[in-house]
Chain A
Amino acid sequence: MTYSFDFSWIGEYLPVLLKGVGITVELILVGAFFGVALGTLCAWIRALGPLWLRPVVGAYVEMIRNTPFLIQLFFIFFGLPSLGFRMSELQAANLAMIVNLGAYSCEIIRAGIQATPRGQFEAGASLAMSPIQTFWHVVLIPSLQRIWPALSSQIVIVMLGSAAVSQIAAEDLTFAANFIQSRNFRAFEAYLVSTVIYLFLAIVLRQLLRGAGALLFAKRRAAQ
């Protein structure tokens, strides 16, 4: 093997890398928060919401879950401007991740809601709480607790999938790696560095999600 490794470029391109990391982190924080919020709303509709809305949400979920993320991204960034919805690369990337995670988390959270013992709904009702109050105060937190590991994994998957946004020139970590190797032709080193950073981000994200779970579900408890 005659290839000699050269990482001396890191100093020079550090600002590019850091900017990429920053954008990837921003994408995942915004995407995770609003994606899970959207997923929770959709899960409520599909499990307990108005009957006429359920097929609408069902169609959205199936459409997103059965098409490639890259196509969804292209559709939002290149397709929607034809209808007059113009947005920046970053806005399009954020929107695509929210819409994507919304659909996947909807199905995960719905499973948690539907595993709720009927007695919990009845207890809420017998205390004169409305169905929405019962959902919000009684059903939601134990439901999220039930599916938190699955939801955490899905959030990490979406974070890793965010690499696709480099294809619409959103300047994330993958965009930075592409940019660097196109300048210095150090493809192996550039992608190795970005791989290590993604790995690090994924580990940190998992720990954060575990911490959020511990905070949200003060103690581990099985539903009665």
Chain B
Amino acid sequence: MSLIEITEVRKSFGTNEVLKGINIDVDPGEVIAIIGKSGSGKSTLLRCINGLETIDSGSIAVAGAQLLPDELHLRALRLKIGMIFQSFNLFPHLTAGKNVMLSQMVVKKVPTADAEATARKMLDRVGLAHKFDAYPEELSGGQQQRVAIARALAMQPMALLCDEITSALDPELVNEVLAVVKELAAEGMTLLMVTHEMRFARDVCTRVVFMHQGRVHEIGAPQDVFGDPKTPELKQFLGLQAA
């Protein structure tokens, strides 16, 4: 059974329809890259999956449970799916360790000692065990993003949504974040990532989704999507054809 089932999802902002009937099924352990021009709807799709945007029609189901826009269903869904943002969104008044502990304690009512143990383990997993007591402003962008990954992992999600998580980083910091994601992929985490890192998408992902004007324009294994693009739009996007 698919872990995430996206069926005929439509979404408009005002009169602007940004998602025009999206169908994607994601199996457990899959690593999916969503690529496309800005405005193609890829970030919106990701945000719909964990309910940060409401969909107008169609359905999204995670592990068999339908996404419904009420508080109770949304929270149940968000316990299954973590999200990592382009702008990190760490809590600036809390240390890295406390950032990772907070939702465990507030949402899952985990005792402080256990939450701290989990936080140390997760920070260690992203190579930042020594930054437990550092505040976000004392960390580099790459380190902040790795803390954000640890924070999402501490909730033990079944899948992670990554929304352009390296786009706000200096080039030399991109690799340290991608290395962590690569490790997660190797451990079997289900990942849906909107990304502009084509090399990473080619090397690590099981499938690549090319979105164009609110539709899934092409979908397939990375070697097919990158090696043998079928549509002129994808060819143009990949720079294989003069504009």
Query: Hey, which bits of chain A sit against chain B, CB under 8 A?
Result: 117, 119-120, 122-130, 133, 137-138, 141-142, 145, 217-219, 221-224
Contact = CB atoms under 8 A, between A and B. Distances in A.
Interface in B54-110: 71, 74-75, 78-79, 82-83, 85, 87-93, 102-103, 106-107
B83 to A, nearest CB: 4
Contact of A123 (B51, B74, B91, B135): B91
Nearest to A133: B106
B137 interface: yes
A224 B92 contact: yes
A120 B91 contact: yes
Contacts of B78: 125-128
B136 interface: yes
A85 B93 CA distance: 43
A72 to B, nearest CB: 35
Given A122-B52, A129-B106, A217-B93, A224 B136 contact: yes
B4 interface: no
* A-B CB proximity, top 5 nearest: A127-B103, A123-B89, A126-B83, A119-B89, A128-B78
Contacts of B75: 128, 130
A129 to B, nearest CB: 6
A137 B106 contact: yes
Contacts of B85: 119, 122-123, 126
A129 B103 CA distance: 7
Contact of A219 (B87, B89, B135, B148): B135
A222 B92 contact: yes
B50 interface: yes
Interface residues of B, number: 30
A127 B107 contact: yes
B87 A119 contact: yes
Given A123-B85, A123-B89, A128-B155, A221 B102 contact: no
A194 B82 CA distance: 60
Contacts of A142: 91-93
Contact of A137 (B88, B102, B136, B151): B102
23 contacts: A120-B91, A122-B83, A126-B85, A126-B152, A127-B78, A127-B103, A127-B151, A127-B152, A129-B107, A133-B106, A133-B107, A137-B106, A138-B91, A138-B102, A141-B93, A142-B92, A217-B93, A218-B93, A221-B135, A222-B137, A224-B87, A224-B90, A224-B92
Contacts of B50: 126
B166 to A, nearest CB: 16
Nearest to A119: B89
Contacts of A129: 103, 106-107
Interface in B94-128: 102-103, 106-107
A120 B89 contact: yes
B140 to A, nearest CB: 13
Contacts of B88: 224
Contacts of A137: 91, 102, 106
Contacts of B137: 219, 221-222
Which of A128, A145, A217, A222 is packed against the most chain B CB atoms within 10 Å? A128
A126 B92 CA distance: 17
Contacts of B74: 125
Nearest to A131: B71
A217 B135 CA distance: 12
Given A120-B89, A126-B78, 7 more contacts: A119-B87, A122-B85, A125-B51, A126-B52, A126-B85, A133-B107, A224-B87
A222 B135 CA distance: 11
A129 B148 CA distance: 15
B180 to A, nearest CB: 18
A1 B75 CA distance: 78
A141 B102 CA distance: 14
B33 to A, nearest CB: 20
